[in-house]
Structure 1
Amino acid sequence: MSRAAARAEVHLLALSALPSAVAASADSLCASVASPAEAERTDLVSLIVSRAEAVGADAVLTFSEYAVVAVAEACEALGLAGAGGSARLARDKRMMRHTWQQQGLPQPAFRPVATATDLQEATAALPCPLLLKAAWSAGSTAHQIIGSPREAAAAWRRSQEVMAESAQLGFAELHVSDAHAHFVVEQIVTGATADWFDEPGWGDYVSVEGVVAHGVFHPVCVSGRMPTVRPFTERAGIIPAPLPTDLQARVVALAREAVDALGLRDCGTHTEIKLGPGGRMWLIETAARFGGAMTVPQIEEVYRLDLVGMLVDHLLGRPVAWPERALGPEEARSAAGSLVVLAVDRDGGAWPDRRVWDFSAVEEAVALSEGSTLSVVPDSSLPDGSTVPAYDPAAGANTMAALCLLTATDAHTVLRDCTTLVDALPTVLPPATPGTAPTAQSTPAAGPLARRDAAGHEVEEVAA
């Protein structure tokens, strides 16, 4: 909100209760904050359009995965710049994979599934192991690995349960009413890092961060990863990814093909790519918004680019100097990583006992590299004193305890420090008192922003 408010007058449409820190900031940063009643949210596009018209918005934007489609459709109705009519292709994983299949782009073999019978038939047609994922989910929720057709029925039941739990926590598609019923199952391809990175410890996938402006894709940089936690929950994203120049160029070229195929128009983009042996690559997915967690602040720290402000300027019709090519380690002024705190060790094994989240204890006890800094993201973390949730492979990021931001001189140091933190957490965090109830993580959703600048421009942002 602060970056948007620096460029235009902002009006916030909150689609659920705001975290206390956000609510306090919203009062000072926004010209207005609207919290519609539940009955008003049955037609989200109409709600956004009416609110935008009421404040005279010149742009509408969101940074929430769950509001991307609604905002795109609202922009179409208002005649404003936005992701465009094909935004659903970057949200529904079934449609996304069909589109890439038609373009002949490399990706895992897949089948859309809507029933337990569909899944059983897919497991008979595709070679196991397979990954079942909700078509409209985010944060690796409802992911289930299926090792054989015999496991299909149990995987289907668990995914259904997790989607229901996620909806209760506020992690659910806001516009498509039956989104919880849509799934896709895909073959698990074998990743490898030896041909891509010059040191061990990196995950076997990367993401290309970028933006589409007037239908033209502008790559910004490539993010590296720590290895995921089973099944595929993200642990940490690190900018920059220390890829050699020629390999980064290949990754960015594939991301460009993926984004171009989806036909997006004006929005941030986040494209994940699996890395394999011998230089092989497979597309995982593309989103019509900037990367989650702390991706945008990381880019600002490393490359001094205010992507939110630049996107606001673009949506308001101002000229923006997007990077001429994807920035790499050679242009980086530092490095930054966002670490998700999960109750598992570096190999994915559960902590031996329950612990209480206490950031001050982590600060005091963990020795990081010289020049490294560590901070916690309060709005994405449990309060100090909360019991760290037991990790649930099916629930993914729903069972995170906290989100931390780590900065260092280079990406190698960030990776080393993140690994140090992962190893230290189960011992430096205070033990939970026997009988203490576990704490569920919940990050509320919010909706459109608009703010008028000196030239009279207003931006409406939909947060969720």
Structure 2
Amino acid sequence: MGGSNPTDHPAPPSSPLTPSPPVLLVVYGRGSATARGVLTAGRRLCTAVFLGDLGDPKVAADLAQLPKSATVVDTAGLTEEQLCDRAAEFGAAGVITFSDHLLRTAAAVAERCGVPFHDRATVEVLVDKFRQREALAAAGVQATACRTVRSAADLGPALAATGLPAVLKPRSGAGSVDTCLVRSATELADRYAEFTEGVASPAVFVLEEYLVSDPTVVGEFWGDYVSVESAIRDGEIRTVAVTGKLPLAPPFRETGYFTPALLPAGLADEVVALEQRALRALGIREGVTHTEIKFTPDGPRLIEVNGRLGGHVSDVLKRSAGTDLLALALRLALGALGAFDPPEPVLALGADCPKVAFQYFISPPADGLAPGSGEVLDGLHHLPGVDLVDARIDPSWRADWRAGTEWLIGTVYGSAPGHPELRATVEGIHRTMADFWS
């Protein structure tokens, strides 16, 4: 049971004079933290045991990069009960996952091991976009028209409820995969047919009202939304940061993050207040959350709440303010913080956050484009504030908006002393990249 992976074994015993570090079960899949990143953040804090489906090539490749001493349990083919029984053998002090589609599994493992995590009811509203909208509306936090679509017959009634334009997306999904804006009934029908054609068991989709943007709030150069990162223990919510965004690429592909966000006076408090009302309405009592909020003519409105660490956030937060959100997530999962005292929230530049750190995603502005010469990317290194260009060019690569945010060839990492300097750097990246895509 658990496969034949040679690393599927308990961690080695510690010296009798040295207390054994607590075991943290990492329910691992494609998500917002790498296996090596987790292992590094957990060094001297815990013994990480990775539970991963080695039948997934990406998961297998990630876990193969771990040192031979790491403990990996192959979960391929295991029932939930078998997986939980296997997990319980480790006497774990905590459970964590960084993957939306594994939240249910992690909740089952945590329940079996008797350690804190989202309970099963909370997980359901975190992974189900329709249920989440229902829960937020029932609690009086935000009413957003949203309908489920199980077949083409549901399209008309759903559109009558949401109006146009509307957003079509999987009921359970992440990273803007198969997510698009529709402006007519014909376009909706075409897109739904595209998503489901030839699929034996099509996913359930939702159609929801489009949240109209107000670009005047932060200015058209910047993204019209932010994310709020929070740490929660036993229902007590502490804000860790508000993360700024660069504008989306069509239809809803993220193009980059920066910390701290650039917000008018008082807006950060308004955004945080909305986020905390949402977390309480959804019953979230443990862990780290990543909540996206959009600026509209009606004020800030919730896009969605995610019950795990946000992708890319930990890096920019650590480089801008020294806050290691990944390590904080591990400590929360272990209950190892002692007194619940996370770092001061990162909301603006100051003594505790002396610079703006950013990630810029090397992703095409439109579909069907191909990457150009690596010499163009070499030019990015000469821009002020650029520290690293991590890219892999495959001439056969083509953009595919259906694959969402992660369909990119690399990332530019850097920092700037302030937001005006960040803007100048991003503009320089745009100029350099103008001739790259063909």
Say whether the fold is shared (TM-score over 0.5). Answer: yes
TM-superposition CA deviations, 1:333-391 (whole Å, max 9, x none): 222222222222xxxx458x632474x7513455322x442342xxxx6xx34126333
**Pairing 1:43-442 to 2, within 5 Å after superposition:** 43=79, 45-85=80-120, 86-160=122-196, 181-194=203-216, 196-197=217-218, 199-277=219-297, 280-292=299-311, 294-318=312-336, 319=338, 320-323=340-343, 325=345, 327-330=347-350, 331-344=352-365, 349=366, 354-356=370-372, 358=374, 361-365=376-380, 367-369=382-384, 371-376=385-390, 384-387=392-395, 389-397=397-405, 399-428=407-436
* Partner secondary structure for residue 5 of structure 1: coil
Higher deviation after alignment, 321-330 or 58-67: 321-330
Retained in 2: the 8 A contact 1:238–1:411?
Answer: no
Question: Contact conserved, 2:228 with 2:275, CA < 8 A, in 1?
Answer: yes
Hey, what's the Cα distance between the residues in 2 that align with 1:287 and 1:281? 17
Q: Matches of 1:112 and 1:3 in 2, distance apart?
A: 39
Task: Give the whole-Å Cα distance in 2 for the aligned partners of 1:310 and 1:188.
Answer: 34
Flag the 1:350–1:93 CA change in 2: closer, same or farther, 3 A.
closer
The question of whether the paired residues in 2 share the 8 Å contact of 1:142 and 1:160 is answered with no
Q: Contact 2:359 / 2:412 at 8 angstroms: preserved in 1?
A: yes
Which amino acid counterpart does residue 355 of structure 1 have in structure 2?
P
User: What is the match of residue 10 of structure 1?
Assistant: 48
State the SS of the aligned residue for 2:268: helix
Q: Which moved more, 1:126-135 or 1:309-318?
A: 309-318
Residue 88 of structure 2 contacts residue 112 of structure 2 at CA under 8 Å; is this kept in 1?
no
Unaligned runs of 5+ in 1: 166-177, 432-464
Give the CA deviation at 1:159. Answer: 2.5
CA-to-aligned-CA distance 1:285-319 (integer Å, 9 cap, x gap): 00000111x21111111121222222322332321
Measured against aligned partners, the alpha-carbon deviations of 1:251-279 in whole angstroms (never above 9, x if no partner) come to 110011111111012111010111023x6
2:274 is matched by which residue type in structure 1? L
Higher relative CO (CA 8 A, sep ≥ 6), structure 1 or 2? 1
Q: What is the alpha-carbon distance in structure 1 between the residues aligned to residue 147 and residue 409 of structure 2?
A: 33
- Asked if structure 2 preserves the Cα contact closer than 8 Å seen for 1:355 and 1:426, the reply is no
Q: Partners in 1 of 2:261 and 2:293 — Cα distance?
A: 13
Against the structure 1 CA distance between its residues 108 and 425, is the aligned structure 2 distance closer, same or farther, given a 3 Å change threshold? same
**Partner letter of residue 305 of structure 1?**
T
**Which secondary structure does the structure 2 equivalent of 1:152 belong to?**
helix
Matched residue type, 1:238: F
Q: Distance in 2 between matches of 1:398 and 1:154?
A: 24
Q: Given that residues 298 and 336 in structure 1 are in contact (C-alpha distance below 8 angstroms), is that contact kept between their aligned partners in structure 2?
A: yes
Give the C-alpha shift of residue 239 in structure 1. Answer: 1.1
Q: Percent identity, please.
A: 26
Shift of 1:140: 0.6
2:141/2:281 contact within 8 Å kept:
no
CA RMSD, aligned part only?
A: 2.7
Q: Which amino acid aligns with 1:420?
A: G
Aligned to 2:7: none
AA of the residue aligned to 2:67:
D
Question: 1:284 offset after TM fit, Å?
Answer: 0.5
Question: Taking structure 1 as reference, are residues 25 and 152 closer, same or farther at Cα in structure 2, changes over 3 Å only?
Answer: closer
TM score, norm. by length of structure 1: 0.77
With structure 2 as the length reference, what TM-score do the two structures score?
Answer: 0.82
CA separation of 1:228/1:161 partners in 2, compared to 1, >3 Å: closer, same or farther? farther
Q: CA deviation at 1:206?
A: 0.8
Deviation, structure 1 residue 87? 1.5
Report the residue type matching 2:238 in the other structure: H
Q: Tell me if structure 2 keeps the 8 A contact 1:240–1:411.
A: no
User: Residues 337 and 407 of structure 1 are in contact (CA less than 8 Å); yes or no, is this contact kept in structure 2?
Assistant: yes
How far has the Cα of 1:59 moved from its partner? 1.1
Distance in 2 (CA, whole Å) between partners of 1:245 and 1:21 is: 45
SS at match of 1:55: coil
Residues 170 and 205, structure 2, Cα contact 8 Å, conserved in 1: yes
Q: Which runs of 5+ in 2 are unaligned?
A: 1-37
SS state of the match for residue 26, structure 1? coil
Superimposed CA distance per residue, residues 99-145 of structure 1 (whole angstroms, 9 cap, x where no aligned partner) = 01111223532222222111222113332111111111111111122
Structure-2 separation of matches of 1:150 and 1:202: 32
Counterpart-to-counterpart distance in 2, 1:141 and 1:114: 17
Contact 2:381 2:389 in 1 (8 A): no
Contact 1:334 1:409 in 2 (8 A): yes
User: Residues 372 and 342 from structure 1, CA distance in 2 versus in 1: closer, same or farther, beyond 3 angstroms?
Assistant: closer
Deviations 1:120-173, CA, capped at 9 Å, x for gaps: 2211333211111111111111112221222232121123359x69xxxxxxxx
CA distance in 2, matches of 1:425, 1:314: 40
Report the counterpart of residue 26 of structure 1 in structure 2: 66
Contact 2:180/2:252, CA 8 A, preserved across alignment: no
Separation in 1 of the partners of 2:430 and 2:59? 27
Q: Which runs of 4+ in 1 moved over 6 A?
A: none
How many residues are matched? 394
